[in-house]
Amino acid sequence: MELTDRDLLSIQTVRHLIREAKAAQQELATFSQEQIDAIVAAIAQAGRDNARQLGKMAQEETSFGRADDKTVKNQFAAQMVHQYIRDMKTVGVIKEDHEKKVMEIAVPMGVIAALIPSTNPTSTVIYKALIALKAGNAIVFSPHPSARRCILETVGILREAAVQAGCPAGAIGCMELLTMESTQELLKHPDVALILATGGTAMVKAAYSSGNPAIGVGPGNGPAFIERTADIPMAVKRILDSKTFDNGTVCASEQSIVTEECIQDQVIAELTRQGAYFLDEVSKKKVASVLMRENGTMNPQVVGRPPQVVAQLAGIEIPPGTRVLVAHETKVGAKYPFSKEKLCPVLAFYTESDWKTACKRCIEILHHEGVGHTMMIHSSDEEVIREFALKKPVSRLLVNTPGALGGIGATTGLIPSLTLGCGAIGGSSSSDNIGPEHLINIRRVGYGLRELEDLQPASTPLDCARQEALVQAILKAVMEKLNV
């Protein structure tokens, strides 16, 4: 009976959070742009001030990644995301087209339900709070159970800062009693306007099947192609910087390297020089055995762990200072774990005869897993880059930049974001990096420009044949009249 009572209590708690959020959002909807911006600025400042503390807390609680890198992600969310959205118009009239006489008005969606993953817990809370409140919405967070404490701490810090800036207290809420029933209640509640789903595939699918609108993201599995014209040392540096950032927990990080036969030896030598360790066949099999569970899903014991821990789990010895484990691979599929997404410093390595076969290999990898997400290319040949851009089934093609940081907009001009849409091909409702513009509805006001008469087809001139026939008929009638 105790378990049942706990389930019922968790459901009631969610209903209370949503009720408070709805009331708070109705108040937020009356706020000016200046009031909203002051609240958002306070949230961002709180995120920056507590970035290190929250990063350390997230790493200690989850054991994923590195505290310093989690601090960087917190700072990215609190600073770069805020810089991008700071001057964005999200209240009242946001656009007017005087020529077409159309006016656009921003309308908040309402209550946002936000699923938070264990891999990027604190930074995702900061980011989602910023974009939701900027759009005039309230937000209720659903933490991953293994990151509950650091997520609750982050929400508490942001809520306090927001309230001090004039925000209604219920506008930022968080589930504390976590059960499957409470999560389902949040996802399916009729007062939830939109679900922002960042997490595992099962959770994202649950969001899309909830009956409420949802923006979710699919798994990443981005290959990085090193083309023959690339600056090989820089390409390798960027790939390793990305794959070791927070021990590979960012979904846009590289999962495979694909290169051309003519530069294979140079790429291998450079990878080795920069700290990659190539597994022999025996070691490869041992590492493969710990990457995935029997059901084909990722083994949580390797997620966000350094290569030394992965090697220890696999029972192999690796050189001191190893940054990434690399395995030669020639196949793609469920039987080949290295061809799948690996949220740890492990990479597959493919060699192809030229860029055209490399292009096919990248497409094969993506269609196996990660379609619609992200891939990287390192090249100075604009024609090849353009061909990859035209052919690859991804929402982001990143050129000469680290995948983990380029995908989220930290080292590129893309929208700074920690929710990366995968488009229809990847099962997402958007292919964008998600921002406040995705969390508002647009009410359009259109003035009349034409009347019904203006829409009716004008009388068309008679064609030549009909004109000639008419002339002949008139002439005949005249001639008969004159008895000619």
pLDDT of residue 296: 82
Tens digits of residue pLDDT in 287-324? 999 999 988 889 999 999 999 999 999 999 999 999 99
Q: What is the dihedral of CA 335, 339, 345, 350, to 10 degrees?
A: 130
pLDDT over 80 (residue 201): no
- pLDDT-derived band at 459 (thresholds 50, 70, 90) equals low
pLDDT digits (tens, 9 = 90+) for 373-390: 999 999 999 999 999 999
Could you report the per-residue pLDDT of 6-51, keeping only the tens digit for each?
888 989 999 999 999 999 999 999 999 999 999 999 999 999 999 9
Residues annotated as part of the active site: 251
The pTM for the full model equals 0.91
Domains contained in the chain, CATH given:
2-217+435-443 (3.40.605.10), 223-413 (3.40.309.10)
pLDDT at 389: 96
- In the three-class reduction of DSSP (H, G, I as helix; E, B as strand; rest coil), residue 10 is classed as helix
pLDDT-wise least confident of 58-67, 89-98, 196-205, 401-410: 196-205
Mean pLDDT of 312-338: 96
Residue 466 has pLDDT above 80, yes or no: no
Give the pair of three-digit tokens for residue 469: 């026939």
Give every CB contact of residue 362 below 8 A, 6+ residues apart in sequence. 223, 225, 258, 375, 388, 392
pLDDT band at 209 (very low <50, low <70, confident <90, very high): confident
Q: How confident is the model at residue 464 (pLDDT cuts 50, 70, 90)?
A: low
Q: Is the pLDDT of residue 152 over 80?
A: yes
pLDDT at 55: 97
Q: Please report, rounded to a whole number, the percentage of residues in the chain having pLDDT higher than 70.
A: 97
Spatial CB neighbours of 78, under 8 Å, sequence gap ≥ 6: 43, 44, 45, 46, 47, 48, 51, 126, 130
- pLDDT tops 70 at residue 108: yes
CA distance 479 to 484: 5
pLDDT of residue 371: 95
Band of pLDDT at residue 1, cut at 50, 70 and 90:
very low
Q: What is the pLDDT of residue 461?
A: 58
Decide if pLDDT at 400 tops 80.
yes
Phi, then psi, of 340 in degrees rounded to 5: -100, 175
In this prediction, residue 276 has a pLDDT band, given cuts at 50, 70 and 90, of very high
pLDDT in tens, 240-256: 999 999 999 999 999 99
Q: Look at 200-204, 409-413, 423-427 and tell me which has the smallest mean pLDDT.
A: 200-204
> Would the pLDDT of 344 be above 90?
yes
Contact 217, 430 (CB under 8 A): no
The string of DSSP codes covering 138-175 is EEEEEE-GGGHHHHHHHHHHHHHHHHHTT--GGGEEE-
